[in-house]
Amino acid sequence: MNFFYDQDEGKVLEKVNLEFSGGKMTSLVGHSGSGKSTILNLIPRFYDVQSGDILIDNQSIYKAKIKSLRNNISLVSQETTLFDDTIKNNIKYAKDDASDQEIFEAAKLSYCDEFINQFPDKYDTIIGENGVRLSGGEKQRISIARALMKKSPIILLDEATSSLDSETESKIQEALSVLTKNRTTIVIAHRLSTILNSNNIYVLDSGRILANGKHDELIEKSEHYKNFYNKQIQK
């Protein structure tokens, strides 16, 4: 497939061909601007490709209704959209007819209950516009709770956790491991553990796929990956 935001600026993705195995984790790695986020945004049709196609179970996403497509996808990123409402309703946003029990279960699995129970009003706490009363890590945990509630078969994950303290980061990683188990997961990987645990890794640079394979294979066959690994991951 090919994709560009502005025809005058050239292609952001050029002749990209990717395959994501069902129920497995696939990582996208590469320096900033390599096209990783663009790929993640094309799958739920935040943008449409200029040429080529995206298939899920051999069906083009362009032949499905957008609502139906997005019902089967959960996106967890740093940019979580939150509303000036209760914590409970913010989690429930993923599933309108969710029972209290489902909300409590998702909150527990995502480690939200730890900070929720510190508020006097607990689940009825109003979090302010865009979750102003919550920290970055707490917002991310609500995003994971929503995805757990939705139970969608496809998880898109930008696991940028660089701004979090190590304790919060480890809780988020535990919550993510629950979320992604046996689900088709496509992740922009920032962490060594995610990369090592991936079934397949695509190495991107300037909108092209340079190589793919497991970590050990790529260390051997891709100089670009080896350099990226040494600079980005081990620092």
CB atoms within 10 A of CB 14: 15
| Domains 1-72+154-235 and 81-151 equal at CATH topology level | yes
Three-class secondary structure of residue 106 per DSSP: helix
Sketch the domain layout of the chain as residue ranges: 1-72+154-235, 81-151
Residue 56 CA to residue 39 CA, distance in Å, equals: 14
Rounded to 10 degrees, the C-alpha dihedral 91/27/53/59 comes to -60
Please give the pLDDT value at position 14: 85
- Specify the fold of 1-72+154-235: Rossmann fold (3.40.50)
What are the residue ranges of helices labelled H in 45-165?
Answer: 66-71, 87-92, 100-109, 112-116, 136-150
Give the pLDDT of residue 203: 94
How does DSSP classify residue 103?
H
Q: What is the mean pLDDT of each run of 10 residues along the chain (235 residues)?
A: 68 87 93 88 92 92 94 87 94 92 95 95 94 90 93 88 73 88 91 84 93 94 88 64
Please give the pLDDT value at position 232: 66
- Could you tell me the fold of the domain covering 81-151? Rossmann fold (3.40.50)
